[in-house]
Homo-oligomer: A and B are copies of this chain.
């Protein structure tokens, strides 16, 4: 139709945005390019002016989602610090909230794509790992002031992210069938993490190890 370069770049972004939302909600295999193009406001033919293939789009979607997710995370850290709040506490509260559970399409892409990424193309998988690595660094930086164990902040960031993402996915997995259980999952994860973040409190003791192996 004749379109300026700026307009074309903007249209490309519209396709990625529509794909991000639809892919997270219904899965990459659950969304066709005709529907996707329509959702972005176009007819399907022009798709290949922007992307070499559907797989190429998938990679662009994950890359873009990781960038936006990382920027949002950085923004949340900054605004918590500006208010004098603990950024880690703020991050955990947001991550394990019912609002975040509902906002699959604009939520954290690490959890949003965690279950699917294994089966996506190489470009998407590499973008995911790059995003994970970057955000792990960001996460590590807000749990810096740990005591007792120097150099273990990265391990702590990984474990904490695993727990939060696991609880979020599990809660999303059951929310439709059993909303009460879904809420309980978020609550239980929040509780355990609070115990972790407040050492010395009675809640620290979570499991008693019997080490029966030795006798």
A-side residues, CB < 8 A to B, are 26-27, 29-30, 84-86, 88-89, 110, 113-119, 122, 125-126, 128-129, 132-133, 143, 145-149, 152, 154-156, 158-167, 169-170, 172-174, 176-178, 181, 184-185, 187-189, 191-193, 196-199, 202-213, 215
Contacts and interface: CB of A to CB of B under 8 A. Distances in A.
B174 A170 contact: no
A86 B156 contact: no
Nearest to A111: B166
Given A133-B181, A169-B114, A211-B86, A148 B205 contact: yes
Contact of A170 (B162, B189, B192, B198): B162
A166 B160 CA distance: 10
A172 to B, nearest CB: 6
A188 B88 contact: no
Number of copies of this chain that the complex holds: 2
B192 A199 contact: no
B212 A85 contact: yes
A215 B174 CA distance: 39
B27 A86 contact: no
Given A129-B174, A166-B164, A185-B162, A119 B197 contact: no
A196 to B, nearest CB: 5
A158 B184 contact: yes
A162 B193 CA distance: 12
A203 B170 contact: no
A129 B27 contact: no
Given A206-B146, A206-B199, A212-B84, A159 B170 contact: no
